[in-house]
Amino acid sequence: MKIGYVQMAPVLGDLDKNIQTIERLLPQADGVDLLVLPELCHSGYRFESRDEAWETSEAISTGRFVEFLKTVCAERQTYIVAGVNERDGEKLYNSSVLVGPDGFVGKYRKLHLFMDEKDIFEPGDLGLPIFDIGTCKVGMLICFDWVFPEAWRVLALKGADIICHPSNLVIPGLCQKALPVHAVCNRIFVVTANRIGTERDLTFTGLSTFADPRSEVLIQASPDREEVGLVDIDIALARDKNVTPRNHVFNDRRPAEYELLFDK
């Protein structure tokens, strides 16, 4: 399987420009089976107000950006995970969609909101779904979700082989240190598509990363350039949960000792 990320700088509030950028970069991802784009990559991130965020949001069932993704996936016979500023009734969610050759597959709504996102978006209410696309099972997390090991574990326990992680990371290099750790602790593939560029007071930190179930960073992008990264992987590696012949990352757990985790 060929998996990849797109690292780019979305322009705040400019859907046409963001679609053009993705279209320009797509030829670099020829032959990819699953491609991950950054968080909120059609709308930008650093909204001044909820009203400004509302202007660029879209309903996933009718929005132009998701329609664009459907067309691309059908033409290129591929799957794409991308961050979407999702409007649902009067509510906004920081979401990601999984789209494939036959159309929309599923979505995830960011559970753990970062900083001022709390003034704009509702916390996710769809739990931690995984999606079977035939060749592998896909889970999604979004940016700051990275700091919660429980979320990675739940997706892995549900059977995710790969976790796609659209991001707009702002703390240089911090998450990138954790990604191979989440990968090895769960014996899964992790692909983080981060953005670059500056919006208002925030500079985004690039270093999009692909880590494998042995904690190897297979590819990593620059901190500040537009890039497409692609890797050929054997998904079977994520189905071998043994760290040693006698140690299995799920079967060796001691849940009775973790009761504190279930406190509300």
Looking at the annotation, which residues are catalytic?
39, 110, 143
Residues 171-210: x where in contact with ligand ACM by CB under 6 A, - otherwise, as a string: ----------------------------------------
Looking at residues 27 to 46 of the shown chain, list those that interact with ligand ACM (rule: CB under 6 A): 39
Catalogue the E-assigned strands of the chain: 2-7, 34-36, 79-88, 91-100, 103-109, 130-132, 137-140, 162-166, 189-193, 196-199, 202-205, 209-211, 217-220, 227-232, 242-244, 247-248
HSE-CB for 109 with a 13 A CA cutoff: 15
Tell me how far, at minimum, the Cβ of 113 lies from ligand ACM, in Å.
Answer: 8
Q: Which of 18, 168, 176, 220 binds ligand ACM (CB under 6 A)?
A: 168
CA dihedral 226, 232, 238, 243 (to 10 degrees): -90
Tell me how far, at minimum, the Cβ of 3 lies from ligand ACM, in Å.
Answer: 22
Neighbours of 264 (CB within 10 A): 2
Q: Does 144 bind ligand ACM (CB under 6 A)?
A: yes
Count residues binding ligand ACM (CB under 6 A). Answer: 7
Among residues 142 and 184, whose Cβ is nearest to ligand ACM?
A: 142
Q: Does 169 bind ligand ACM (CB under 6 A)?
A: yes
- By CB under 6 A, name the binding residues for ligand ACM: 39, 114, 143-144, 168-170
